[in-house]
Amino acid sequence: MEQCHATALKAAGMKATPKRLAILEMLEAEPGYASPEELWKRLKDRFDRLGLPTVYRNLEELSASGVLSKVIHPNRQLYYYFCSNREHHHHFVCLSCRKVEDIPACGIEALEQEVTRRNGGKVLSHILQLNGLCGGCADNGEIR
Amino acid sequence: MEQCHATALKAAGMKATPKRLAILEMLEAEPGYASPEELWKRLKDRFDRLGLPTVYRNLEELSASGVLSKVIHPNRQLYYYFCSNREHHHHFVCLSCRKVEDIPACGIEALEQEVTRRNGGKVLSHILQLNGLCGGCADNGEIR
DNA sequence: CTCTAAATAGAAATGATTTCGTTTTAGAAT
DNA sequence: ATTCTAAAACGAAATCATTTCTATTTAGAG
């Protein structure tokens, strides 16, 4: 388990520090997504010293290296999710219990139906947004 | 023009106040999305008094009534976009020039290709997330 | 024209997230 | 094993976009 994580971290070019591993471990055990502060509150018992900024920093770095997924939440706070699925996929997020379910394919209309058919529940809204550079901007590749 | 907006506001059950209309007008003239503060800076010349909270409040209300669209931005700040398209659709957002282009259909893979084929440019990332209630939660419809 | 609920002002608070300078540590090299 | 160095962590403090609060103003129905 933690060996796994250490390997994944190495692969991502990150040091396998105890705190980093603990964050991964805790998030993996989590059935759904969690906020930095929640993780910090639970984790700081395990260490004599653990700063909240360290949790923020690690979650962001891990998310940037693709080890974790970031959840886009209506309340605009940060939430992270441990997702072992390395295939291209999307997530169904339950706003009530925070459970995250993988959605293997794209194609939204059919998607919603399939999700509700398979898992039951109800899709209240979805977010689909493509980010990138338009024709004019792709050339001189700046980000404003 | 402003008649239109007044009608749209009435339809949404909102009073057609001068400031509200000015916000709509300015955002409609905008080629892309804008932040509350940007709009406020440009609008406060037109009024002897205009508070930033008023702009925030109105943008949120207008977005909630579907008159405006909210943009999900990597920097996690609020941006709004005037979108006259009343059909179900999604947006392609240029992170460089802020232009917003409508995407008429869903189906992501094909979608990205179509967007780049039609408009040129480059899709750097996309966000697809379904929000809702899972089977277990749909019954006692609480939001945590 | 009146009246009332909705909208606004503006200062102040909020609070999640980030920054900063210093100290510690993982892990490669010796 | 020991040394060394870049990366990681600390934690107090800062940031700053966003929201709250109470008093005042106003749109628009009657």
- HSE on the CB side for B70, CA within 13 Å? 19
**Minimum-distance nucleotide, CA of A77 to C1':** C16
Taking CA atoms, A18 is separated from A35, A48, A78, in Å, by 20, 12, 23
Alpha carbon distance A92, A106 (integer Å): 12
Q: A94 to chain B: nearest residue by CA?
A: B133
How many angstroms is C1' of D26 away from CA of B57?
17
Of all nucleotides, the one whose C1′ comes closest to residue B54's CA is C8
> Per the CB < 8 Å rule, is B132 touching A71?
no
pLDDT of residue A81: 94
Q: Do B120 and A134 touch (CB under 8 A)?
A: yes
pLDDT surpasses 80 at A101: no
Residue A116: predicted pLDDT: 81
pLDDT value of residue A144: 40
Q: Which of B96, B98, B134 has the CB atom closest to A99's CB atom?
A: B134
Mind spelling out the 3-state secondary structure of B77-104?
A: CCEEEECCCCCCCEEEEECCCCEEEEEC
Q: Where is pLDDT greater, at A78 or B119?
A: A78
Per-residue confidence (pLDDT) for residue A91, from 0 to 100 = 79
**Which residue ranges form the domains of chain A, and what is each CATH number?**
2-119 (1.10.10.10)
Distance from CA of A52 to the nearest CA of B (A): 20
Q: Quote the pLDDT of residue A1.
A: 54
Question: Would you give the distance in Å from CA B86 to the centre of its chain?
Answer: 12
Report the share of chain A in percent with pLDDT over 90. 44
User: Quick one: pLDDT band at residue B86, thresholds 50, 70, 90?
Assistant: confident
Side chain identity at residue B44, one-letter code? K
- pLDDT digit string, tens, across residues B32-85: 999 999 999 999 999 999 999 999 999 999 999 989 999 888 899 999 999 888
DSSP β-bridge partners for residue A30: none
**Mean pLDDT computed over A88-100:** 77
Residue B115: its pLDDT value, please? 73
Q: How many CB atoms lie within 10 A of CB B70?
A: 16
> In the beta sheet, which residues pair with residue A129?
B91, B127
pLDDT of residue B144: 40
Of B76, B93, B129, Cβ closest to residue A91: B129
* Phi and psi based region of residue A56 (left: phi greater than 0; alpha: psi -120 to 50; beta: remaining): alpha
Q: Which of residues 51-110 of B touch strand C (CB under 7 A)?
A: 51, 53-54, 57-58, 61
CA–C1' distance A17–C24 (Å)? 12
Looking at per-residue pLDDT, the higher value among A116 and B54 belongs to: B54
Interval B16-37 mean pLDDT: 95
DSSP single-letter state for residue A25: H
- pLDDT tens per residue, range A13-66: 999 999 999 999 999 999 899 999 999 999 999 999 999 999 999 999 999 998
What pLDDT does B143 receive? 40
User: Residue A97 pLDDT > 90, yes or no?
Assistant: no
Q: Which of residues 72-111 of B touch A (CB under 8 A)?
A: 72, 74, 76, 90-99, 101, 103, 106-109, 111
Judged by CB atoms closer than 8 Å, whether chains meet at B98 and A144 is answered as: yes
Closest alpha carbon to B10 in A36, A43, B2: B2
Query: Cα–Cα distance between A20 and A26 in angstroms, integer?
Result: 10
Give the residue among A46, A98, A104 at the shortest CA–CA distance from A77.
Answer: A98
